[in-house]
């Protein structure tokens, strides 16, 4: 027989223990045999390996190769700036790697700072003496003592229990406290046995004595924790796109370098001249500033999310969340406040809210017994937290006490002199108090158990005999409340002559009313649900609660709008095949109720097979496998267990569903922003590449040197690009459907706009400025200019200046692919404005200071050069604004066609 099926004495004997617990010697021996009572820490990548991995991913390898080629070129042809290039690229690799590592390290430290679930010490009985021992020192056979508020640190079998109730939510997912007793159980499943206490759960009320039968990794807590130790194998969408982009860049750069190496050979250039030229082509194609810009953009997004109470553990998770198409969310604490509240009273034969009752003092005086009952009939204990007195115990009893106190408007403290405790068979609690009117019994519980004990009823005035009509009215009121998803309690009372007549206490009661309680929705959730609907993100409630409660809350928050949503109970889900489940998930409105946490992982797996990007919430140990399986695992920061937080990608510091929606908005903004600064950064590649091609093909002096390319890529472009990466979400961000799973970060539209349109305009401006200076200086086609010729230095400065000034206007053009410059609030991003100021300051320093001239090979151009460049900047603005106008008109026409073809009634979800 299993331990929960044995009697208390048999359970102790099976563990070779006794009523006085283990001896200290035997406890020490068992500790050496079974090990400490702690869950083995998740195997993490060592700090050294985590640090090295930031320098060995594919894009970093491309930069390593570029740096190596630069040093090789410098060794063959010194003085061309290749060593400076190599050192600059190494600096990029180092800074980016250090920053990425620091961001992840800081997130992990923030995670460790969150409160641990398991208690540090426990009250145990050893050799007949009670003492506090470290929780890690518990062994099988230890006898422990538990009371209200204690956390349970090992799997135990109860030996004695006094009105004991436990909160199993963290392990089993059950939202309501469960009564526990010491009687042998006939259940086969140990988790459902009423005499078993599980590690990681807590005592809500009562006291108990129990014997430990499993510790550490052998507990249910430890078993589930072990499932989360396997690392997630799949990459995030952003990681896949960065790898793809790296391959495109590597292929493009090496391909162009190879092609023009061959062209150079045909034109008669020497091997090393060709080699230097090919390296220049490769370097010009590699956006050295891209990786740090992506990393910094993600980091800034994590900081914005942290201010909105979302802690991101892994940087790529920011963007993945923006790709989410489905959110599987818990109800309790996420959609609701995790704070029970009395919502409806059935009092004096009518339904009303507590607020309405407070406006009717005459009714409260007439029905005073109900409020006295709610105020006194409980097992709450007062405790002081941070200098404030608070109640500790069952959340429902706390809610009833709060409601009664507000309605009565005065404190009542009648001493308790007897009690008939609550248990799951009786489903009621009775307490006896000495009041100014004599000894009084107050009873509360489920109507089906209280009603048979009542011989009288109190409706309008004083007690009157219970009639069939009154009985029917109470049953109908209960049905109405239950249909609204409320937890209904009945209240009754009677005056006593003998406070200790045990068998006769609960008889001839006066039924005085009903109270409907619920965990109310968070006030911000309905708006968040509507945002999800507009954003094309499907929300699925997955809860362990009763389906009536789940549907009622769903309707209240706007998740359910239809008359008949699809509701699937855990028992039905257990019998469904994989195909049936995947078909059921097509329902526009679906709720899973009475679902165990292990079934949540099955739902997540089915959604992923349907090609959804799934975000899932969880707080319990048993939620951890589903959090690990999801594309984005979201753990609760306030109520979540350490195991759930360890398995998650994001932690909600306020346990609020609205925070998830805000994080999705930030994630979508990150994707949009990366595309913005990719357009911005790649645009300058064209005016950097074409000078090398012109140098070889047209036999002109090189218009732009490698060190000047670096001045753009790692200098003037960096802060404006970061400004684009820090853009706030656009107003329509959450009114667009999620991007298609196959949509690319870099696609032909982006490349065409950057390379073939904006880049070509910048290149035209750069060449025009270059030749403008040469022509003013008397240069003739075919003339060779020395590297230090003042005319050549002025001409390259003009070319560089044209690129930088074009990028100044380009940063505004890249803020939106469709909206015009002034429609996209051009001056509300301070980082961009500071970036432009720094860009212009660097340009002036490069062009007009001695150190800038020496480092970058420049010379001060005449003012006429800048006036010559300005029309090209205006032309760039005019042409791009025209292109955007065409795009907007085309999009407007497509929307009109879609609207005319759309059915008259939209489905709730796309």
Stated as kind and residue range, the H or E segment containing 539 is strand 538-542
Q: Cβ distance 724 to 676 under 8 Å?
A: yes
Report how far residue 779's alpha carbon sits from residue 772's, in angstroms, rounded to the nearest whole number.
10
Task: From the candidates 155, 181, 330, 545, give the one annotated as an active-site residue.
Answer: 330
Report how far residue 200's alpha carbon sits from residue 184's, in angstroms, rounded to the nearest whole number.
22
Task: Record the tokens describing residue 709, joined without a space.
Answer: 């390319």
User: Which is nearest to 382 in space by CA: 168, 122, 148?
Assistant: 148
**Percent of the chain that is helix, strand, coil (3-state, to 5):** 50, 15, 30
Q: Cβ distance 477 to 438 under 8 Å?
A: no
User: Which is nearest to 531 in space by CA: 562, 554, 553, 558?
Assistant: 558
DSSP label at 151? B
C-alpha radius of gyration, the chain, whole number: 36
Q: Cβ distance 174 to 544 under 8 Å?
A: yes
3-state secondary structure 632-690: EEEEECCCCCHHHHHHCCEEECCCCHHHHHHHHHHHHHHHHHHHHHHHHHHHCHHHHHH
Strand ranges (E), 272-415: 310-312, 326-329, 341-347, 350-352, 381-385, 388-392
Q: Cβ distance 629 to 228 under 8 Å?
A: no
Report how far residue 865's alpha carbon sits from residue 863's, in angstroms, rounded to the nearest whole number.
5
- In which residue are the tokens 């939202």 written? 175
Report how far residue 632's alpha carbon sits from residue 532's, in angstroms, rounded to the nearest whole number.
16
Q: Cβ distance 461 to 366 under 8 Å?
A: yes
- Helix axis angle for 790-813 and 759-776, nearest 10°, is 150
Q: How far is CA 768 from CA 277, 699, 860, 871, in A?
A: 23, 17, 17, 11
Q: Cβ distance 811 to 724 under 8 Å?
A: yes
Q: Who's near 697: CB < 8 A, 6+ residues apart?
A: 263, 267
Q: Is 481 helix (H, G, I), strand (E, B) or coil?
A: helix
Q: Cβ distance 617 to 330 under 8 Å?
A: yes
Report how far residue 822's alpha carbon sits from residue 379's, in angstroms, rounded to the nearest whole number.
64
Report how far residue 681's alpha carbon sits from residue 678's, in angstroms, rounded to the nearest whole number.
5
Task: Record the tokens describing residue 174, joined without a space.
Answer: 């059950």
User: Which is nearest to 419 in space by CA: 444, 393, 450, 441?
Assistant: 441
Report how far residue 889's alpha carbon sits from residue 876's, in angstroms, rounded to the nearest whole number.
20
- The three-point CA angle 477-479-481 to 5° equals 70
- In which residue are the tokens 């800034």 written? 300
Is 330 catalytic? The answer is yes
Determine the length of the chain. 910
List the catalytic residues.
330
């Amino acid at each position: 027989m299993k331990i929960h099926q044995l009697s208390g004495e048999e359970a102790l004997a099976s563990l070779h223990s006794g009523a006085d617990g283990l001896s200290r010697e035997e406890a020490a021996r068992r500790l050496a045999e079974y090990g400490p009572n702690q869950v083995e820490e998740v195997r993490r990548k060592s700090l050294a390996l985590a640090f090295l991995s930031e320098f060995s991913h594919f894009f970093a390898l491309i930069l390593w190769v570029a740096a190596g080629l630069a040093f090789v070129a410098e060794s063959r042809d010194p003085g061309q700036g290749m060593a400076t290039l190599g050192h600059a690229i190494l600096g990029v690799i180092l800074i980016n790697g250090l920053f990425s590592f620091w961001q992840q390290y800081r997130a992990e430290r923030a995670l460790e700072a969150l409160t641990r679930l398991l208690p540090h010490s426990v009250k145990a009985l050893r050799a007949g003496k009670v003492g506090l021992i470290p929780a890690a020192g518990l062994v099988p056979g230890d006898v422990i003592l538990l009371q209200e508020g204690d956390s349970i640190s090992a799997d135990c079998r109860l030996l004695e229990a006094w009105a004991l109730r436990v909160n199993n939510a963290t392990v089993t997912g059950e939202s309501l406290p469960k009564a526990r007793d010491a009687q042998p159980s006939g259940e086969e499943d140990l988790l459902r046995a009423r005499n078993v206490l599980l590690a990681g759960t807590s005592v809500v009320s009562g006291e108990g004595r129990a014997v430990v039968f499993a510790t550490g990794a052998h507990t249910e807590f430890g078993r589930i924790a072990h499932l989360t130790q396997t690392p997630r194998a799949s990459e995030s969408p952003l990681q896949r796109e960065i790898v793809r982009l790296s391959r495109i860049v590597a292929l493009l750069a090496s391909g162009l370098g190879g092609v023009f190496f061959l062209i150079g050979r045909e034109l008669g250039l020497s091997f090393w001249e060709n080699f230097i030229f090919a390296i220049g082509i490769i370097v010009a194609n590699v956006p050295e500033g891209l990786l740090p810009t992506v990393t910094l953009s993600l980091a800034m997004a994590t900081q914005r999310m942290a201010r909105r109470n979302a802690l991101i553990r892994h940087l790529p998770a920011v963007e993945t969340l923006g790709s989410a198409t489905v959110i599987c969310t818990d109800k309790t604490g996420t959609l609701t406040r995790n704070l029970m509240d009395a919502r409806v009273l059935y009092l004096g034969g009518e339904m009303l809210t507590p607020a309405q009752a407070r406006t009717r003092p005459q009714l409260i005086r007439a029905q005073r017994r109900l409020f006295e009952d709610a105020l006194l009939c409980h097992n709450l204990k007062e405790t002081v937290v941070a200098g404030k007195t608070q109640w500790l115990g069952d959340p429902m009893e706390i809610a009833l006490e709060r409601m009664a106190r507000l309605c009565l408007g005065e404190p009542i403290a009648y001493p308790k002199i007897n009690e008939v405790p609550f248990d799951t068979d009786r489903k009621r609690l009775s307490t006896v108090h000495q009041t100014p009117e004599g000894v009084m019994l107050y009873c509360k519980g489920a109507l089906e158990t209280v009603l048979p004990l009542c011989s009288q009823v109190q409706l309008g005035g004083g007690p009157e005999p219970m009639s069939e009509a009154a009985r029917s009215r109470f049953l109908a009121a209960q049905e109405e409340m239950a249909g609204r998803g409320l937890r209904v309690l009945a209240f009754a009372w009677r005056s006593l002559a003998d406070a200790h007549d045990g068998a006769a206490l609960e008889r001839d009661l006066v039924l005085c009313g009903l109270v409907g309680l619920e965990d109310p929705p968070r006030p911000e959730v309905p708006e968040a649900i509507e945002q999800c609907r507009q954003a094309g993100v499907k929300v699925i409630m997955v809860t362990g609660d009763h389906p009536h409660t789940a549907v009622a809350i769903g309707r209240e928050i706007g998740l359910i709008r239809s008359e008949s949503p699809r509701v699937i109970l855990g028992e039905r889900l257990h019998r469904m095949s994989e195909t049936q489940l995947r078909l059921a998930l097509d329902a526009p409105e679906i709720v899973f109720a009475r679902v165990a946490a292990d079934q949540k992982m099955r739902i997540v797996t089915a959604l992923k097979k349907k090609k959804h990007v799934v975000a899932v919430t969880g707080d319990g140990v048993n939620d951890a496998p589903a959090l690990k399986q999801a594309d984005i695992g979201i753990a609760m920061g306030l109520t979540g267990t350490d195991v759930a937080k360890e398995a998650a990608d994001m932690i909600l510091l306020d346990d609020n569903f609205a925070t998830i929606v805000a994080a999705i908005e930030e994630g979508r903004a990150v994707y949009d922003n990366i595309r913005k600064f990719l357009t911005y950064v790649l645009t300058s590649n064209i005016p950097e590449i074409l000078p090398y091609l012109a140098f070889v093909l047209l036999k002109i002096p090189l218009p732009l040197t490698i060190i000047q390319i670096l001045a753009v890529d790692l200098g003037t472009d960096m802060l404006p690009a970061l400004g684009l990466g820090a853009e706030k979400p656009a107003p329509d961000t959450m009114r667009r459907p999620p991007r298609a799973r196959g949509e690319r970060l870099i696609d032909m539209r982006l490349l065409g706009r950057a390379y073939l349109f904006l880049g070509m305009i910048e290149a035209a401006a750069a060449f025009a400025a270059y030749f403008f200076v040469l022509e003013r200086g008397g240069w003739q086609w075919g003339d060779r200019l020395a590297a230090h010729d003042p005319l050549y230095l002025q001409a390259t400065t003009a070319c560089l200046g044209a690129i930088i000034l074009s990028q100044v206007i380009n940063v505004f053009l890249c803020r939106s692919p469709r909206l015009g410059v002034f429609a996209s609030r051009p001056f509300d991003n301070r980082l961009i404005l500071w970036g432009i100021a720094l860009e212009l300051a660097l340009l002036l320093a490069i062009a007009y200071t001695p150190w800038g001239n020496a480092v970058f090979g420049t010379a001060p151009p005449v003012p006429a050069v800048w006036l010559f460049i300005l029309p090209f900047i205006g032309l760039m603005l005019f042409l791009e604004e025209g292109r955007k106008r065409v795009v907007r008109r085309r999009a407007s026409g497509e929307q009109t066609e879609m609207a005319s073809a759309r059915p008259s009634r939209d489905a709730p979800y796309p």
